[in-house]
Structure 1
Amino acid sequence: MKNAGCGSARRLWALGGLTGATLLSALWLLQLLRRAPGGAPVPQPKLVLVWHWPFADRPPELPSNTCASYGVAHCHLSTNRSLLASADVVVFHHRELQTRQARLPLAERPRGQPWVWASMESPSHTHGLGLLRGIFNWVLSYRRDSDIFVPYGYLEPHDGPAPPLPAKTRVAAWVVSNFQERQPRVRLYRQLAPHLRVDVFGRAHRRPLCAHCLLPTVAQYLFYLSFENSQHRDYITEKFWRNALSAGAVPVVLGPPRANYEALVPPDAFVHVDDFGSARELAAFLAGMNESCYRGYFAWRERFRVRLFSDWRERFCAICTHYPHLPRDQVYHDLEGWFQA
């Protein structure tokens, strides 16, 4: 594709009203607002039963005010399976169903009880959906067309001065744990490395970073390779939101098309690999960027800040936020077809 020069993506992000991340943030905040006194009656508390906690042998402790701490009122989470008959909604995380660590209690399912399918993985790493036809009523995922949309992150409005950018002493960084030559991201890295200094961290390169070391390390770099492990609709993970934007580095993205990113952040907040005809052109653009052009990629920090959305407790509490507006008679008869589309 044509090489996009510095500033070519600088256009009014909110042209014609709220769009992009502004609209996303506004909708998100509106969903969390309580009704004013004198409005509709206060809703009865909803019980969300989590059948198997994601990626855990033992569930975390869930105090009664768990959801209130995330700004979601009238919502209780539980992992007590004996409450199946009385739960307002039951949520199942797909990884445990896929690995058969959990089974669906189909014979014990109360009539009319909504079930939620939950996953934050990409279609490339999601298997067995063909066995789940006609079971789930709602979907919780990063997909924007999900019934319960829970992105990995988003931009929320922010007042006050933008925080200063960290001092930059290095060019580009990439943190990767699953490094396989067949992956498009690895092939792109191989093409990019001869023309641009990229420091690679992760177990595969014997340069692991501790949990608290990642952001301070990446903050020293001008650019971060936010390369997703697979390219799918709306699949924009912590590699973009946390590893790059939160660290104060410009994300160089390999993932869904540019328009998908622009629905969430300003068009000049990232560099998309699709804007260049080759890895060599991309490297030349990054290496030749002047300070004024570079700082333009952080203009969004004057009005917004990154809000990470990574805690499964908060994700499950979001079910209650959406609950009053979700269709009661909906069934996913072809969950695989929907998710793989």
Structure 2
Amino acid sequence: MTSCILLALKRLASLSVLGVLFWNLGFLLQSSHIPAGGASTRDKPLSILIWDLPFNHNLNLSGHICATGRHHKEGCLLTSNRSWLDQADVVAFHHRELQRNRSRLPRAKKKPGQNWVWVSLESPTNTKDLAGWNGTFNWVMTYRQDSDIFIPYGVLVPHLSDKVDIPKKSHLVCWVISNYHRTQKRAELYRELSRHIKIDVYGKASKKPLCPACLLPTISQYKFYLAFENSIHQDYITEKLWRNALLAGTIPVVMGPPRANYEQLIPGEAFIHVEDFGSMQELATFLLTMNDSHYQSFFSWRHRYTVKLYDNWQERFCTICDRYPSLLCGKVYPSLEDWFQNERSGLPGGP
């Protein structure tokens, strides 16, 4: 029995002379749920329909995918077969495909208690056409920590190690960039910093494209990596930090949300923030004059943690299975645009 039914019982409790009976029954049902990370007591698997596969990726959603491989979530089924619309418990809509094929959205929910999830990993700056979805979605699934279903680009997981191996360094600073626009903040900072220090630039926007298998081995040769986000938003901390820098074994020089926001996810001594310096000349001097002992200290976190990337869409969608028992059924976002564009006032370092 799902949390939707629990909510209904609680509402009945406030209206009926049998309120105490209903409340106690609801409490007993709630106590029968396994906490997040396991499956709830259900007669059949939780079914999740992926309306459009993100970026047309072939996810090979064959049966109980969340109970196999590295997902290990029993009682949860993913499918992209739209004929399941009338029986799916949850329907997930990835925004990129949604905004391109708006007419293909189902007219209404086909099953009582069915919940619709809006999914996106893009920042508000790069997300368009939100105004037309008022009152459409029950839950949001994004990189924001205040999402109903939080899907970060990466996390640090506990991992004790006596020895930390740092890749051998032969170069100083590099940047990998696919889409370069001169008006972006990151482009402005790069131009200013490059006046004071040599920066090797790779990627589609440069004359040095990298094959996927070449990315990490190339970056690992550098002491510092410019993990500059394409836009600055609450919690918008992408693979530029997690994969390109931390996983590659180099020190990230970050440009994105304030330092305090980064420190909610990684230790403060694991990165350098551009806002720690009064100018790009000061930052360049800091990078050029750092001694070996100071450099090694930026890797102390690796004695306690290791990097886990969330770059697999199967795994991301299986996160719904974990969160489902604790999600509020019947909730609706009156304005998706208001929620996504108006970030929380408590953004670290903000007003």
TM-score where L is the length of structure 2: 0.84
8 Å Cα contact 1:43/1:74 also seen in 2: no
Partner of 1:51: 51
Q: Is residue 2:36 matched to residue 1:31? A: yes
* Partner SS for 1:90: strand
| CA separation of 1:207 and 1:43: change in aligned 2, threshold 3 A | farther
After superposition, the Cα gap between the structure-2 partners of 1:108 and 1:156, relative to the gap in structure 1 and judged at 3 Å, is: closer
Match of 1:337 in 2: 338
Structure 1 counterpart of 2:177: 176
C-alpha spacing 1:329/1:41, structure 2 compared with 1 (3 Å): closer
1:163–1:42 distance in 2 versus 1, CA, 3 Å: farther
Alpha-carbon deviations, 1:100-159, whole Å to 9, x = none? 277210246334310000000000110111100100000111000000001000000013
Cross-structure match for 2:265:
264
In the TM superposition, what is the alpha-carbon distance from 1:43 to its structure 2 partner?
7.0
Distance (whole Å) between structure 2 residues aligned to residue 269 and residue 108 of structure 1: 46
Distance, in Å, in 2 between the alignment partners of 1:253 and 1:137 is 34
Cα shift at 1:212: 0.6
Q: CA RMSD in A?
A: 1.6
Q: How many Å separate the matches in 2 of 1:138 and 1:65?
A: 23
Equivalence for 2:222: 221
How far has the Cα of 1:304 moved from its partner? 0.2
Is the 1:309–1:315 Cα contact (8 Å) retained in structure 2? yes
For 1:187-231, what per-residue CA distance to the aligned partner results, in whole angstroms no more than 9, with x for missing partners? 100000011111000122121000010000000000000000000
Shift of 1:276: 0.6
Higher relative contact order (CA 8 A, sep 6+): 1
How far, CA to CA, are the matches of 1:52 and 1:224 in structure 2?
A: 35
Counterpart AA for 1:175: V
Distance 2:215 2:316 in 1: 24
**Paired position in structure 1 for 2:160:** 159
Amino acid at match of 1:62: L
Whether contact under 8 Å (1:59, 1:79) holds in the other structure is no
Residue in structure 2 matched with residue 279 of structure 1 by the alignment: 280
Cross-structure match for 1:67:
66
Which runs of 5 or more structure 2 residues have no equivalent in the other structure?
1-34, 343-351
How far, CA to CA, are the matches of 1:157 and 1:175 in structure 2? 28
Work out the CA distance in 2 between the residues paired with 1:101 and 1:148: 23
Q: What is the CA–CA distance in structure 1 between the aligned matches of 2:66 and 2:113, rounded to whole Å?
A: 24
Contact 2:179 2:205 in 1 (8 A): yes
**Closer, same or farther: CA 321–83 of 1 in aligned 2, 3 Å:** same
Q: Aligned equivalents of 2:254 and 2:144: distance in 1?
A: 18
Specify the code of the residue in structure 1 equivalent to 2:127: T
Cα 1:135–1:161 change in 2 (3 A) is same
Report if the CA contact (8 A) 2:53-2:94 is conserved.
yes
Secondary structure of residue in 2 paired with 1:171: strand
Q: CA deviation at 1:317?
A: 0.6
Runs (5+) with no aligned partner, structure 1: 1-29
Equivalences, count: 306
Structure-1 separation of matches of 2:243 and 2:163: 17
- 1:190 alignment counterpart: 191
Instruction: Label 1:299 to 1:171 Cα distance change in 2 as closer, same or farther (>3 A).
Output: same
User: What percent of counterpart residues are identical?
Assistant: 52
Relative distance call for 1:119 and 1:41 in structure 2 (3 A) is closer
User: TM-score, normalising length from structure 1?
Assistant: 0.86
Contact 1:52 1:102 in 2 (8 A): no
Query: How far apart, CA to CA, are the structure 2 residues paired with 1:107 and 1:158?
Result: 46
Contact kept, 8 Å, 2:87 with 2:110, in 1: the verdict is no
Residues 288-303 of structure 1 mapped to structure 2, 5 A cutoff: 288-303=289-304
Residue 60 of structure 2 aligns with an amino acid whose one-letter code is: E
